[in-house]
Amino acid sequence: MFGFSERSISNILFWITRKKWLILSFLLSVSFFYFPTPDGLSSEGHRTLIIVLVALSLIVSETIPLPAVAMLILIMEVVLGVDTPDGVASSFMSDAVLFIMGSLMLAVSIVHQGLDKRLALLVITITGNKTWRIVLGFVTISALLSSFIGEHTVGAMMLPVALALIRNAGLSTGKATKLSSVLLFSIAYGCAIGSIGTPSGGGRNAIMIGYLAEFGMAEISYLDWIKMTYPMLLLEIPIVSLILWKTFTPSQKTMDSSVRKLKVQVAKTGKINANQLMAIGIFTLVFLGWIFFSPTFGLGIVALSGVFLYLSFGLINWKEINRNTNWGVILLFGSAISLGIQMKETGAAFWVAGQTLTYLEIIFQDVEIVRWFVSVVVAGLLTNLLSSAATVAVLGPIVLDMGGNPVITGFMTSIASAFAYLTVVASPTCMIIHSTGLITSADYFKAGWKLFIISVFLLLVVSLFYWPTLSL
Amino acid sequence: MKILIGISSKKFSEPTLDVGMRIASTLNSSTTILDVGKKVNEFSYKDVSIANELMESWDLDRPGVDVLEWAYNYLQSENYITKSSIDNSFSKNLLIDKGIGRSEVFLKGAAVTNLSLILRNGNIIEELRDEVQSFNYDLTIIGGSGRRRMAHDLVQYIDSSIFVVNNFNRKQTYRILLAVNDSKGNKKAVKFAVRVAQAFNIEVDIVSISNKEKISEKFHSASLRAEKMMRRTGVKSKVRSIEGDLVNTLVDAARDNHIIIMGTSSQSPISKFFLGSKPLAVMESCNCPMVIVK
C-alpha cells in the first residue's frame, strides 16, 4: 500500500498505538488554539496554558522521553509566540536549575565513595538488634540524611542495607514479607518526610525558592528554610515509624543474627578511608556554604563549587558523573521553571488562580480554606500522580498568585508535594523500593493513606501555630 | 531456529518453559529466556540504576536475576538442560550489559550452550517486540494467563511465529488441531505442526473449515498436502472437513485438549488493525494452547 512494505505499515501502526497520547495532545493543543480566548486571559496566557496541558499530559503518560518533553516546552514557547528565543533561553537557566544540577552531581559523587557500608554500620550501631528500633533507625537516618543530600541518593544507599538485613534473616530477597515491607517503606517514607527539611532535600524546594525570588515575593535562605520545615520533619519521624510498624508488624521481633552478619560483612571492608573522609569533609563545606554564603553566591553556585572540589581532588571522574546524572530531569526542571515564569508573566497563573478561587469559594465559602485546599490537598494528590517537582513547577505560580502570604502558601505547596506516599511514581525513592519486586502498587496505600491524612493535619498545625512565631 | 521464551514470574512460567524447551530440544534450537522486569519511570531510572549497582557491591542480585536463576534451575531439574562439565568460575551471579536496555545473566557455577538468559526492564510488549525484531527470533513463546491483550498485540506487531501457552497441563494428552486453508502461510503452518507433533510425540487432526456446505477444491487439496507431509515425517494424522464458522468451529473442536496451530492471516496490517483477523479471534476465545505461524 502506497509503496510501503507490510512491515513498515505494521511499524507505523505500532507507533500509533504506543504514541496515542502524543497524537491526542497534538490534536487537543490545535483545537484549544482555535478556541476563543476566555475573558480576563491574555492571548499569550491562553497559549501558555495550552503548553501546560500538553506538557502535563506527556509527563503523566510517559509517551515520549522526558528530555523530549523539555524540548517541546521550549519549542512551543517560541513557536506560539509566548516569548522571544532569547527570553525563553534566559528563563530556562536560573540558580534553581544550577542548584538541582549541582545537587544531582553531588549525590553521584557521594554514592561513588562507597559510604553505604559506613551508613549500614551507623544504623545498626545506633539501633541494636530489636526490629522496631531498626525501623525507627531507618526512618530517622533516611529522614535526616535525605534532608541534606537528597532523597533519591539516600534511598539508593539504604536499599542494599535493608536487603542485606532481609537476606541475613534467612528470608529470600525475591519474596515479599512483612519484614521486607516495613524495612523498605521505612526508607521510602523516611526519605519523603526528610526531603522537606532543607532546600537540598528535593528539587521542588529549589524550584519554589526560585519562584519566590523571581516573582519578587521573598528571598529565602537555606537557614530560613530549615527554620520553617525542620520541626515538622522531626515530628513526623516517630509518627511514620509507628504507622509503619502497626501496618506491617513483622513476626521477627529481633534480628540478632541478621545484624551480627551485617556487622561482619561491613567489617570486611575495613576502616573508613581517606577518600571517604574527604568526601564527607567536602559535603560539610558545601552544607556550610549553603548556610552562610548562599544569600550572596546562590545555592546553585555553592553546589557546583562542591562538585568542582570532588572533581579536582580526584574523588570522582567526569565520566562517572556524566553516566549517573539524570540530565533529562535537569532539562525538564529547566523547562518547567521557564514555563512557570511564562505563566506568571503572561497572566495565565493569575487567571487560573482567579478561576480556582471563584469556583472553589462556592464550595468552601472561605478564601483561606480554598488557598489551603489547593496548596496542600491538591499539591499532595498531584504529587502522587505527576512527581513532586513537576507538581511544584506547574502549581507554584498559580498558588503564589492566589493572594495571602506567598511565603506561607509557597512553603505549604512545597511541603505537601513531599507527601509522596500513595503511588510508585510519586518519588524516585518509591520507585527504587518498587523496583525490587518486593513492593506492589497496592502496598503503597496500606500505610500511605494514613500518613497522607496525618501529614496534612500536621502541616495545618505547623502553619497555624508555629510559622506565625517566625518573622518571615 | 531461534526461540524466545518470555517469562515474568515464577508462579505462572513453568508451562511456558516446559513447552518452549520441549520444542527447543527437538529442534536443537538456540533458546533465549527473557524476563521483562518492572518499568522504571524516567524521573527515577538513574537512581534505580545506582541502587542496583550498590546492590551488586553487597553481593545482592538485581531484581529479575532471581526469576532467571529459578528458570535455569527448573530446566535443570526437569532435565531440559545439562550443565557443561566445566563450570564457570564466577563467584556470584553476573549481569553483563549488552546495550539497548538488555543485560545477559551469567549464573554462578552455571554454564550451558545454546541457552541465554536475558533481563530487560520496561513495557512488556515494547521489550518483547524489540527483542524479537533486533535478534530475528523465529518463534516467541509466552504464557497465556491473563495476557490475551499482550498476545493480541504481539501477534499484530512482531515478525516471529507466536506460541501462546494457554492453560497447558503437563498431565493432559494433547492432539494438534491444524487448521488448513488455501492461504500463502498454510505450508509454514503445516511444517510447524510436524515439528510440534514430533516434540510432544502426539497426533495431528487436520481440519479444513468452510461456511459452505461443500468444501472447496483448494481447501481439500491443502488438507491432502498436509496429510502427505505428516505421513512422510512419520506423524500420525486424521483429516476432517467441517462446515461452519471458522472461529467458533475451531474453538469448539479444540476444547481444552488440543494445541491449535494455524497460519497468520493474509489480510493487510491496516485491515487487521481495524477489523481484527480470524487467528486473533480464535486466540481470544480458545481455552487451550495455540500457535500462530508467520
CA dihedral in degrees (B181, B186, B187, B191; nearest 10)?
A: -110
Q: Is the pLDDT of residue A191 over 80?
A: yes
Residue B145 is predicted with a pLDDT of: 61
Residue B61 is predicted with a pLDDT of: 86
- Neighboring chain B residues of A173 at a CB cutoff of 8 Å: 60-61, 66
Q: Which candidate from A167, A328, A432 shows the least CB-CB separation from B51?
A: A432
Cα separation, A138 vs A165, in Å, equals 12
CB pair distance less than 8 Å for A66 and B48: no
Q: Is the pLDDT of residue A41 over 80?
A: yes
B87 in reach of chain A (CB within 8 A): no
CB pair distance less than 8 Å for A152 and B40: no
Q: Is the pLDDT of residue A416 over 90?
A: yes
Q: Is the pLDDT of residue A208 over 70?
A: yes
CB pair distance less than 8 Å for B126 and A18: yes
Which letter, b or e, does each residue of A380-409 get, where b requires 16 or more Cβ atoms within 10 Å of its Cβ?
bebbbebbbbbbbbbbbbbbbbbebebbbb
CB-count exposure of residue B134 (10 Å: 0-12, 13-18, 19+): exposed
CB contacts under 8 A, A 320-349 vs B, are: 324-326, 328-329
pLDDT band at A404 (very low <50, low <70, confident <90, very high): confident
Residue A12's CB is within 10 A of a number of other CB atoms, namely 13
CB pair distance less than 8 Å for B43 and A326: yes
- Grouping H, G, I as helix, E, B as strand and the rest as coil, residue B163 is strand
- Grouping H, G, I as helix, E, B as strand and the rest as coil, residue B175 is strand
Cα separation, A204 vs A229, in Å, equals 14
Q: How far apart are the first and last CA of chain A?
A: 68
Pairing of strands B175-179, B204-210: parallel
Task: Please report, for residues A55, A408, A444, the alpha-carbon distance to residue A376 in angstroms, rounded to integers and kept in the order given.
Answer: 22, 11, 20
Rounded to a whole number, what is the largest CA-CA distance in chain B? 71
Q: Give mean pLDDT, residues B79-90.
A: 67
Q: Which long-range contacts (CB under 8 A, 24 or more apart) does B279-284 make?
A: B279/B155, B280/B152, B280/B155, B280/B156, B281/B247, B282/B246, B282/B247, B282/B250, B282/B251, B283/B148, B283/B151, B283/B152, B283/B155, B283/B164, B284/B148, B284/B152
Instruction: Residue B38: name the closest of A463, A436, A321, A209 by CA.
Output: A436
DSSP A38: P
CB pair distance less than 8 Å for A432 and B273: no
Cα separation, B231 vs B224, in Å, equals 10
Q: How many whole angstroms from its chain centre is CA B47?
A: 34
Which residue does chain B place closest to A66, by CA atoms? B42
CB-count exposure of residue A355 (10 Å: 0-12, 13-18, 19+): middle
B42 in reach of chain A (CB within 8 A): yes
- Return phi, psi of residue A196, to 5°: -85, -15
Let me know: does A396 contact A207? Beta carbons within 8 Å.
yes
Looking at A89-98, A234-243, A416-425, B218-227, which range is the least confident one?
A: B218-227
pLDDT band at B81 (very low <50, low <70, confident <90, very high): confident
Higher-scoring residue by pLDDT: A307, A389: A307
Task: For chain B, list the domains and their CATH numbers.
Answer: 2-165 (3.40.50.620), 175-293 (3.40.50.12370)
Instruction: Residue A407: name the closest of A467, A346, A344, A469 by CA.
Output: A467
Which residue does chain B place closest to A266, by CA atoms? B58
For B229-281, what is each residue's pLDDT tens digit?
999 999 999 998 888 898 999 999 998 899 999 998 877 878 877 777 888 88
DSSP B59: T
Cα separation, A304 vs A301, in Å, equals 5
Cα A210–Cα A213–Cα A219 angle in degrees, nearest 5: 110
Q: Tell me the three cell numbers of residue A255.
A: 534480628
A135 in reach of chain B (CB within 8 A): no
Q: Give mean pLDDT, residues A2-19.
A: 83
Let me know: does A255 contact A131? Beta carbons within 8 Å.
yes
Q: Is the pLDDT of residue A50 over 90?
A: yes
- Neighboring chain B residues of A172 at a CB cutoff of 8 Å: 66
CB pair distance less than 8 Å for A152 and B44: yes
Let me know: does B275 contact B199? Beta carbons within 8 Å.
no
Cα separation, A458 vs A370, in Å, equals 18
Let me know: does A406 contact A216? Beta carbons within 8 Å.
no
DSSP A195: T
CB pair distance less than 8 Å for B38 and A435: yes
CB pair distance less than 8 Å for B42 and A66: yes
For A265-302, what is each residue's pLDDT tens digit?
888 888 888 999 999 999 999 999 999 998 889 999 99
A116 in reach of chain B (CB within 8 A): yes
Residue A88 is predicted with a pLDDT of: 94
A192 in reach of chain B (CB within 8 A): no
DSSP A5: -
Let me know: does A145 contact A216? Beta carbons within 8 Å.
no
User: B165 pairs with which residues across the strands?
Assistant: B143
Q: Give mean pLDDT, residues B171-180.
A: 91
pLDDT band at B83 (very low <50, low <70, confident <90, very high): low
pLDDT band at A183 (very low <50, low <70, confident <90, very high): very high
State the average pLDDT for chain B. 86
Residue A98 is predicted with a pLDDT of: 94
DSSP B35: E
B109: left (phi over 0), alpha (psi -120 to 50) or beta: left
Residue B147 is predicted with a pLDDT of: 55
Residue A3 is predicted with a pLDDT of: 67
CB pair distance less than 8 Å for A163 and B60: yes
Q: Which candidate from A18, A157, A431 shows the least CB-CB separation from B44?
A: A431
B275 in reach of chain A (CB within 8 A): no
H helices then E strands: how many in chain A? 25, 0
Residue B63 is predicted with a pLDDT of: 85
Question: Inter-axis angle of helices A85-92 and A66-79, to 10 degrees?
Answer: 140
Looking at A93-107, A144-158, A383-397, which range is the least confident one?
A: A383-397
Residue A300 is predicted with a pLDDT of: 93
Cα separation, A114 vs A426, in Å, equals 27
Let me know: does A252 contact A169? Beta carbons within 8 Å.
yes
Residues 6+ apart with CB under 8 A from A297: A289
Residue B170 is predicted with a pLDDT of: 83
A276 in reach of chain B (CB within 8 A): no
Q: Tell me the three cell numbers of residue A87.
A: 527570553
pLDDT band at A409 (very low <50, low <70, confident <90, very high): very high
Q: Tell me the three cell numbers of residue A232.
A: 515538622
Q: Give mean pLDDT, residues A255-271.
A: 87
CB pair distance less than 8 Å for A156 and B51: yes
Pairing of strands B139-143, B2-7: parallel
- Neighboring chain A residues of B268 at a CB cutoff of 8 Å: 1, 6, 9
Our CA-based measurement puts residue A120 at a distance from the nearest CA of chain B, in whole angstroms, of 11
Cα separation, B75 vs A336, in Å, equals 50
User: How many A×B Cβ pairs under 8 Å?
Assistant: 114
CB pair distance less than 8 Å for A14 and B156: yes
Task: Please report, for residues A139, B120, B154, B264, the alpha-carbon distance to residue B160 in angstroms, rounded to integers and kept in the order given.
Answer: 49, 19, 9, 10
Let me know: does A342 contact A48? Beta carbons within 8 Å.
yes
Which letter, b or e, does each residue of A240-260 get, where b requires 16 or more Cβ atoms within 10 Å of its Cβ?
bbebbbebbebebeebeebbe
Sign (positive or negative) of CA dihedral A162, A391, A385, B47? negative
CB pair distance less than 8 Å for A1 and B268: yes
Residue A26 is predicted with a pLDDT of: 93
Residue B146 is predicted with a pLDDT of: 57
- Grouping H, G, I as helix, E, B as strand and the rest as coil, residue B204 is strand
Residue B272 is predicted with a pLDDT of: 78
Would you kindly state where each structural domain of chain A is located, as residue ranges?
36-469
Residue A92 is predicted with a pLDDT of: 93
DSSP codes of every residue in A104-135: HHHHHHHHHTTTHHHHHHHHHHHH-SBHHHHH
Residue B97 is predicted with a pLDDT of: 82
For A350-382, what is each residue's pLDDT tens digit?
999 999 988 888 888 888 888 889 999 999 999
B130 in reach of chain A (CB within 8 A): no
Cα separation, B130 vs B115, in Å, equals 19
DSSP B264: P
For B198-215, what is each residue's pLDDT tens digit?
988 999 999 998 887 666
CB pair distance less than 8 Å for B153 and A17: yes
Out of A228-232, A426-430, B63-67, B156-160, the most confident range is A228-232
Q: Which long-range contacts (CB under 8 A, 24 or more apart) does A462-465 make?
A: A462/A231, A462/A232, A462/A235, A463/A372, A463/A408, A463/A411, A463/A412
Q: Tell me the three cell numbers of residue A142.
A: 533516611
For B89-106, what is each residue's pLDDT tens digit?
566 788 888 877 788 888
DSSP A254: B
Cα separation, B16 vs B20, in Å, equals 6
CB pair distance less than 8 Å for B46 and A324: yes
Residue A458 is predicted with a pLDDT of: 95
pLDDT band at B66 (very low <50, low <70, confident <90, very high): confident
Cα separation, A306 vs A300, in Å, equals 10
Residue A209 is predicted with a pLDDT of: 93
